[in-house]
Structure 1
């Protein structure tokens, strides 16, 4: 169940996605929050330079493995503007991170891109639990998904 604290962190993830867009990058943003509510790490996409692996969720997984114990990682939550791609889901699983809460789903993104005539990416869009069975996942959150859709539309010149 998504509560007010989750919504606050999800709003920040969407803000980070907007920051990515303002910087000329794909609009995705994510943050890592400890069990006690402390924001430990936040970032947005950095793929505009040509490295398609520079997703914030992947950065979170790498960061967490060198700075957190396995128990701390398992108790943490990743908030993200868009559901993890398969690469980021795998990194999340290998790092042993806990719950994921996202504003918009991969299925929504695929649908929007199809609607706009934008070619699919090089990796199949899969639900997180298809890649990492058992991790707790919450989303999409429809009110914020519409904001993410608007950011994606702007990035793809469809607004």
Structure 2
């Protein structure tokens, strides 16, 4: 499994945008997750937020990024791109990321953090085993969590679960 390292100061710029997208999702009645795809030149190529409220539980922004990248980027461009996200990829999104051949993943909050918050609030975990990215896609370089954003991300999830 690839070791996880902290995000860089440059990563925080994109992670803050992910948290903004997560807030937009929550404000629209959805779960608070947001993600950004940045190419090797540092250009934002695609961004999205969670859209599962309509009943399609696969409408995670990380999965949408994988779909978009597979259609719009060459394999070389995908390898050089970085996916930034407010929360560590779930198993479905980690697999999609690896299958499409995207580069590193940088996240604000980890699966471990989210599980701890949910347990603290008495909220049951979702229907899929909560695995770290490295357990699903061991070859993907990962940076995170960004402890600078923990309070903000936690507050969004608290609001979702009515504990804010």
- Relative to the length of structure 2, the TM-score reads 0.95
Whether 1:59 aligns to 2:64 is yes
Structure 2 residue aligned with 1:88: 93
Q: 96-105 or 138-147: which moved more? A: 138-147
Summarize deviations over 1:93-115 as a string: whole Å, max 9, x none: 00000000000001111111111
Distance 1:146 1:10 in 2: 14
Structure 2 segments unaligned to the other structure (5+ residues) = 1-5
SS in 2 for 1:48: helix
Summarize deviations over 1:75-107 as a string: whole Å, max 9, x none: 100000000000000000000000000000011
Structure 2 residue aligned with 1:154: 159
Paired residues, what number? 159
Q: 1:101 aligns with which of 79, 98, 106?
A: 106
Distance 2:86 2:140 in 1: 18
Structure 1 segments unaligned to the other structure (5+ residues) = none
- Relative to the length of structure 1, the TM-score reads 0.98
Which structure 1 residue ranges, 4+ long, deviate > 2 Å from structure 2?
Answer: 1-4
Relative CO higher for 1 or 2, CA cutoff 8 Å, sep ≥ 6?
Answer: 2
Structure 2 residue aligned with 1:50: 55
Distance 1:90 1:68 in 2: 18
Structure 2 residue aligned with 1:72: 77
Distance 1:136 1:70 in 2: 17
Distance 1:79 1:145 in 2: 15
